[in-house]
Structure 1
Amino acid sequence: MAKIKTKSKLFKTKKTFVKKKKGKDVKKPKVTQKETIDDSEDVMNDSQRDDMKPMDSSDDNDSDYDDIDDYKKTLDKLKEKDSEFYEFLQENDQQLLDFDVNDEEVEEDEDNDENEDFDTKTQDLSEKLSVKTIDKWSDKLSEKADIETIKSVVKWFRKAVEQTSGECDGKLMSADVFNSVINICLIDLLPAIQKCLKLPPIDSSQWSNDVKSIDPTKSRNWKKMISVMKIYLTDVIKMVGVVTEMSLKTTLLRHILYLIPFLKAFPHLIKRVLKQTMTLWSESDEKNRILSFICILRLVRTQEQPMISFILKKLYLSYIKNSKYMKDSANQTTIVFMKHSLVELYSLDPVVAYQHAFVFIRQLAINLRTAMTIKKKESYKSVYNWQYLHSILLWTQLLCSHNSVDELKPLITPLVNVIIGTIRLQSSPKFFPMRFHLINALIKLSDETNTFIPIFPFITQILDHFDKLKKNKPSNDEKELNLDLLIKVSTLNTNDFKFRDAVIRKIYDLLLYYLSTQSHVIAFPELVYISVVKVRKFLKRSHVIQHNQLLKQLLDKIDENSKLICDKRRNVDFSITNSPAINSWETDLKAKGTPITSFFKQRNQIKVAKQLLHSESINNDSNASASEPQPNDIAFSGTTASHKSNKSNKRKFNENKTLDKHEEQEDVFEDKSETKRTKQSKKNKRRVKNKEKKRQNQNVSFDFNQTLDISSDDSE
């Protein structure tokens, strides 16, 4: 606070003097109101710079108020002497006239006093609290909404939070008291607050669906509860960040869902909640991630556009940060969940979605352009990585799920150009997995947005690279190669038979997927002509029976679908230029179905059944290994298959395998005095058994194409 001294000269206007020149009077110059105001302001500014000095710390509050009274008296004199200048101050600088003590400091002092009261009272009552008193509090809260009881519960909840965070200086609560305090806050406190403020019941749909309609600030008792609610909300948010047990964190997140109407009254606390939920959304387990997403969704619905843009940008960056590596299928499911939840949040504001998509797609295009111009390994790495791919997949999912939004339609063309440019950047076989991901995104984008994209050349070009590869090498790994979890492979693995087999099966899946989206088009025979020619040329060069069976089956379905389209076209009356009639004809045929679409659906059902069987077999193997009493014991578990005969044969094969292992262990622990002849006889026995195993393996070989042939016969 500064002392304000006023002078009478401050508010005097300039005087004009009469000058005589050659015996004649000179007229007085007129002074306008604006000049007097400017001059008086200049005088006031100079005087304030000279006279206003900072107060010493030894000054009392009484002197401050005396200076304020003197200042108000000078303003009253100014009103009497120069009313026009006083009106000018009222219009332009009202705060100068309505000078008062700073209210924010007073509010902060009140909050600090309340916090000090909370701390002192909890320290005084720390020795007296027991489970019986907490039970009495719960009975009071259930019967009648008592504000004093609510305050005492909130005080002890703060004590529990301090104990959890390690900030408690006094005596610690026992485990029973701690649990009962947490339970009364999470179960009984919120219904009591709802009764006290006369809000809708918590079981109603307004608390889950229509949060905006609930406004506790309109209640009469809100002024009594505002300090208690502020302290309770800060403690709950702090508890979520401090607790390490996942079950308690889950219950706290569910509790926060019902506290969102109260958080609207404290905007600074909303930022804290968002910070906690964003970290849990990207790093926690499945339950907490889902609850965090629901909290973010409900909070975003209550915010305005600038805040929504800030939140979505933070979520996008955390999504890109977590998608740097693809370790296993569990990591893949978390990234897919984050992608779908981000798309759901972007649907709340299409304008923000367009702005973010435009900026980040442009960034992808810039990285692609630098890679195309520089052509070095470092520039290629900026494009061929998981973060770049998942960014493309996110915007593809956004445009596919919200294809009817007019604001997002202009983004289809730049995104397609970025995807096609990324495919054409590198044609090396080691980047085939990345190419498959991008082709799948193009097919999905073409199908959902109803835009034609020439995708067949990008699929059939892969077949031309098989002639350039070296001879097939036998693979040592028994695991199947999952291309969905890869973006590139080493150059040595490109010559592996497993890689070639996985590539052919992926080409088959992509061709079938794209054909199912275009099978109802009136120009289907002309559309597939070039790709059919390339596939037939590959069949002449290929010598692998399984690959030839797959592609021949696909060609048969293409021929069947082409005959259907040609037969339907013969009975058509409209011309080629009549686009509305062509669109109606294609929609009718799509609704009825085509041979390729029915075959594609059956293929997907078989795929899903195979994945379920595979997951069940993994769970059974893990349970069997967990139940083993000794490490040397071997669990007998048969491999899963669709036919029972194959199952039993494979089990016998595994049993023979285990018997051989037992015999090897017996050989190790045999007596050292055993002669060489007995060892040689055992080796001969093993050779005979190995030959038998090879024969059984040839008989037991299960071909996945058999199921496809069965399904195709059924469909015909």
Structure 2
Amino acid sequence: MGAKGRVKSLDKEVNDEEEKEETRSSTISKSESQAREHKSQLERLKEKDPEFYEFLKEHDEELLQFSDEDNDDDVDTDVEDAYVPVDNDIGRHGLAEKEDKPSRTVITTAMVDSWCNSIREKGNFSAIRSLMRAFKTACHYGDDGGDDSSTKFSIMSSSVFNKIMLFVLSEMDAILRKLLKLPSSGGKKETIMDLISTKQWKNYNHLVKSYLGNALHVLNQMTDTEMISFTLRRLKYSSIFLAAFPSLMRKYTKVALHFWGTGGGALPVVSFLFLRDLCIRLGSDCLDECFKGIYKAYVLNCQFINAVKLQHIQFLGNCVIELLGADLPTAYQHAFVFIRQLATILREALHTKTKEAFRKVYEWKFINCLELWTGAICAYSSEADFKPLAYPLTQIISGVARLVPTARYFPLRLRCVKMLNRIAASTNTFIPVSMLLLDMLEMKELNSPPTGGVGKAVDLRAILKVNKPTLKTRAFQEACVFSVVEELAEHLAQWSYSVAFFELSFIPLVRLRSFCKSTKVERFRKETRQLIRQIEANSEFTNERRKSVSFLPNDPAAISFLEDEKKLGASPLSQYGLTLRQRAQQRSDLLMESSVRVGEHSSVFGNKIPKIDEEADARNEEGATIFNSSWLPGIDSKTEKPKEMKEKKKKRKKEEHNRVAVEEDVVEELVLSSDEDESESDDIQSDGEDDGGKPVPPKKQSMKQKLPTNISKKVKSSAKKFKKRKRSN
């Protein structure tokens, strides 16, 4: 610093000291006038209420012996304590630091509009940089360290925040692609890998990283599902850039998986589409993490189930199956490991035969995992990468069905049979499930009269085990027998066009006739007879055509037997199975209607999404209804419910009422002019000590503190004592 600079600095310090001296003198003169006014108030009190004046004279004589000199001395002491002269070198250093500290610009709507117009019309790079700085400020608003002095801009209003967010999320992908000379949409990981070595990437990669990093930060701050959905939907177009930032890619994967598993409304769908796009575009870089993460999230969500949650679990399972299709060879490796884990749990239960081991198998988490891999094998049964998994999974499901062969686990066994029928139909492989079903019919619980009454309707899809009283009800017996007939008809209908149907259906036919004779329930007898007639009719149907064939049973030509009739579904069992499926669907719909529905459209997925939601998604794409002007990060105005606001208002009114009641105890004539400032200085005592009697640092003591305030406290205290004394007398 030159000589001129030092002279200017000294002149500035002298001016500051003169201003402080003037402030001191004005404070002292003001305190003198207040002291004189207080003295006159005490004299008026003597004339107005001599009895109370005598009480003060007797108990608090020091309060009446008030002088102006004492007041002046106290004020001078306070001011001198508060003002500490600074050494010239230290002062100059502090001033230099203050001058070096950058002043931040407050962002306004006009500034944002000018940046947006410059970017749209001219593609101004400086406007892009300014907008990205503002975007960073907006995304970090409300953070603990959000008041960072290094940022060029300070936080704006909520309307400006929303304008910045809408423009950046809607336009930044196109802007970045134009700067980096990329196609307007799409792309693969190789595109970014080739781009990294170019000059464009070196110049503009910081903008890409800033956009993705700040958007990820604000995603973690948001609580509104529509805002999160819109943000993820826009970021999906820029997911290709994550190939250059592996750490950001992992963080985005975790965030999307969290929203997929826990989100409501359209958020799970949007999150899944983001993950799927990530897997397709980035390939092996994120496949392992996505497959492991989505399976783990599925397991966490399917630990408990009820009639309402069934559709949601089915939706989550369909998402996992769809994501596996992004890379089947990689998916096979993960599926093999996960299915082997299930086999290990079952093997432990078979060997140890303890309740704890059985419980690990007979729980919703285990059964839903079997359902998931059954769906995956059915979806990709024609693929060579997935078909080998059908055999081990079939063995596991059969073992689970036979693990505890009691009537209380009828619902679980029926679920296992359904899974086996699905695998058999998709892989065109014979699986002997008829024995599992016929064993159920021969159990005494279904052959004895229902001693438990009619009972409530039982939804076998939503339970794995029933209690003992339910076993003896008519409703449970009917549900079990009807389900067994339906699944047995489904199994036999799959092979109703086989040249060996007569031999295949012989044992089931014999055991069905035995059950029909032994059961004492007419409804069950009627249902079984109808199935027997259909099996016999189908045997005649196949035997008639089998008479004209010339090939041997092991001839490959046997595969084409009744192929035309199979395409038309002409066999008696196929038509009968269709009727049973319609009846089962009607029964399922009735049970769903009687179940409690939680939340509007909370469990509606797939083709049941109403058109209203589709229209809402179209409007949400514009963003105007998403980022409204009442939200900022860290200040979620929507979370405060009207009921909570009412309770807060009531609480404030109650506190106000209590405060007024306390103040009414004070004699009105003794309320001095400085009492209004009492609440601001309650924590500072007249002698410069806090409530604990410790000296208060000079910074805590205000130079503008008024001495009469402290005197008024003493007067009020004396007034309360006087009133108590009067009441006791």
Alignment map for 1:546-561 (pairs within 5 Å): 546-561=523-538
Distance 1:426 1:393 in 2: 19
Asked if the contact 2:232–2:270 (Cα under 8 Å) also holds between the matched residues in 1, the reply is yes
- With over 3 angstroms needed to count, the CA separation of the structure-2 counterparts of 1:605 and 1:301, relative to structure 1, is same
Tell me by how many angstroms 1:288 deviates: 1.4
2:262 equivalent in structure 1: 283
1:119-177 Cα offsets, whole Å, 9 max, x none, are x98x7122xx2222222222222223222111111111111111255643386532211
In the alignment, which residue of structure 2 is the partner of 1:156? Answer: 134
Alpha carbons of 1:249 and 1:475: their partners in 2 closer, same or farther (altered >3 Å)? farther
Shift of residue 488, structure 1, vs aligned partner: 1.0
Alignment of 1:25-64 (within 5 A): none
Residue matched to 2:158: 175
Residues 392, 563 of structure 1: alpha-carbon distance in 2 compared, 3 angstrom cutoff: same
Listed one character per residue, the Cα deviations across residues 349-377 of structure 1 (whole Å, up to 9, x for unaligned) are 33333322332322222222221222221
> How is 1:677-716 mapped onto 2 (pairs within 5 angstroms)?
none
Q: Which amino acid aligns with 2:105?
A: L
Q: Distance in 1 between matches of 2:598 and 2:272?
A: 34
More off after superposition, 401-410 vs 303-312: 303-312
Q: Which residue number in structure 2 is paired with residue 391 of structure 1?
A: 369
Structure 1 distance, partners of 2:190, 2:575, is 47
For residues 338 and 587 of structure 2, what CA distance do their matches in structure 1 show? 38
For 1:37-186, list aligned pairs within 5 A. 124-126=104-106, 129-165=107-143, 167-169=145-147, 172-186=155-169
- What aligned pairs does 1:532-611 form with structure 2 within 5 A after superposition? 532-578=509-555, 580-593=556-569, 594-605=571-582, 607-608=584-585
Worse overlay, 460-469 or 436-445: 460-469
Task: Give how far 1:310 is off.
Answer: 3.5
Q: 1:622 to 1:265 in 2, by over 3 A?
A: closer
Q: Which amino acid aligns with 1:384?
A: Y
Q: Which is further off, 276-285 or 189-198?
A: 189-198
In structure 1, the residue matched to 2:436 is: 458
Between the aligned partners of 1:615 and 1:491, the Cα distance in structure 2 is: 24
Provide the TM-score with structure 2 as the length reference: 0.63
Shift in Å, 1:510: 0.8
> Contact conserved, 1:475 with 1:496, CA < 8 A, in 2?
yes
The one of 288, 308, 311 aligned to 1:309: 288
Aligned counterpart, 2:230: 251
Deviation at 1:247, TM superposition (A): 0.6
Aligned identity (percent) is 27
Task: Indicate if the aligned counterparts of 2:324 and 2:331 stay in contact, CA closer than 8 A.
Answer: yes
Equivalent residues of 2:449, 2:520 under 8 A apart: no
Unaligned runs of 5+ in 2: 1-100, 149-153, 601-729
Aligned to 1:493: 470
Separation in structure 2 between the aligned mates of residue 339 and residue 222 of structure 1, nearest angstrom: 40
* Alpha-carbon distance between aligned partners in 2 of 1:351 and 1:358, rounded to the nearest angstrom: 11
Give the corresponding residue for 2:336: 358
Q: 1:477 to 1:154 in 2, by over 3 A?
A: farther
Q: Do residues 201 (structure 1) and 184 (structure 2) align?
A: yes
Equivalent AA in structure 1 for residue 538 of structure 2: N
Tell me which of the two structures has the higher relative contact order, counting C-alpha pairs closer than 8 angstroms and 6 or more residues apart: 2
Q: How does 1:141-540 map to 2 (within 5 A)?
A: 141-165=119-143, 167-169=145-147, 172-202=155-185, 206=186, 217=196, 220-303=199-282, 305=284, 307-329=286-308, 331-466=309-444, 471-475=449-453, 478=456, 480-540=457-517
The alpha-carbon deviation at position 548 of structure 1 amounts to 2.9
Secondary structure of the structure 1 residue equivalent to 2:444: coil
TM superposition shift of 1:218: 7.0
Change (3 A) 1:172 1:603: same
Report deviation, 1:420: 1.5
Q: Deviations over 1:271-320 (max 9, x none)?
A: 11001011112111252111211221222234454752333122222222
The Cα of 1:494 is off from its aligned counterpart by 1.4
- Secondary structure of the residue aligned to 2:326 is coil
Counterparts of 1:337 and 1:152 in 2: how far apart (Å)?
43
What is the deviation of 1:236?
0.7
- Contact 2:303 2:364 (C-alpha < 8 Å) held by counterparts: yes
User: What are the Cα deviations for residues 646-684 of structure 1, in whole angstroms up to 9, with x where unaligned?
Assistant: xxxxxxxxxxxxxxxxxxxxxxxxxxxxxxxxxxxxxxx
SS class of match (2:552): coil
Q: Secondary structure at the match of 2:266?
A: helix
| Cα distance in 1 for residues equivalent to 2:207 and 2:286 | 27
1:195 maps to a residue whose letter is: K
CA contact (8 A) 1:164 1:243 kept: no
Change (3 A) 1:503 1:136: same
CA distance in 2, matches of 1:153, 1:226: 16
Q: 1:168 to 1:153 in 2, by over 3 A?
A: same
Query: Aligned partners of 1:613, 1:346: CA distance in 2, in Å?
Result: 34
Question: Helix, strand or coil for the counterpart of 1:448?
Answer: helix
Residues of 1 paired with 2:255 and 2:279: CA distance? 14
Letter in 2 for 1:432: F
Aligned-pair distance for 1:326? Answer: 0.9
Contact between 2:452 and 2:469, CA under 8 Å: does it hold in 1? Answer: no
The 8 Å contact of residues 142 and 188 in structure 1, kept in 2 or not, is answered as: no
In structure 2, what is the Cα distance between the partners aligned to 1:241 and 1:557? 60
Shift of 1:216: 5.7
CA distance, structure 2, for counterparts of residue 179 and residue 275 of structure 1: 26
Q: 5+ residue gaps in structure 1? A: 1-119, 624-716
Residue correspondences, number? 493
Secondary structure of 1:492's counterpart equals helix
For 1:582, the aligned partner's letter is: A
Q: Matched residues in 2 for 1:476 and 1:576: separation?
A: 50
Q: Which letter maps to 1:556?
A: R
Deviation at 1:505, TM superposition (A): 1.8
Q: Structure 1: how far apart are the matches of 2:499 and 2:325?
A: 34
CA 1:617/1:484 → structure 2, altered by over 3 Å: closer, same or farther?
A: closer
C-alpha spacing 1:286/1:441, structure 2 compared with 1 (3 Å): farther
Distance of aligned partners of 1:607 and 1:436 in 2 relative to their CA distance in 1, 3 Å threshold:
closer
Q: Give, in whole Å, the separation in 1 of the partners of 2:180 and 2:221.
A: 30
Cα deviation, residue 476, structure 1: 7.3
Task: Tell me if the contact between 2:374 and 2:423 (Cα under 8 Å) persists in the aligned partners.
Answer: yes
The answer (yes or no) to whether the contact 1:280–1:289 under 8 Å persists in 2 is yes
**Is the CA contact (8 Å cut-off) linking 2:256 and 2:274 kept in structure 1?**
yes
- Letter paired with 2:180: L
Counterpart-to-counterpart distance in 1, 2:347 and 2:361: 10
| CA 1:608–1:426: 2 relative to 1, 3 Å | closer
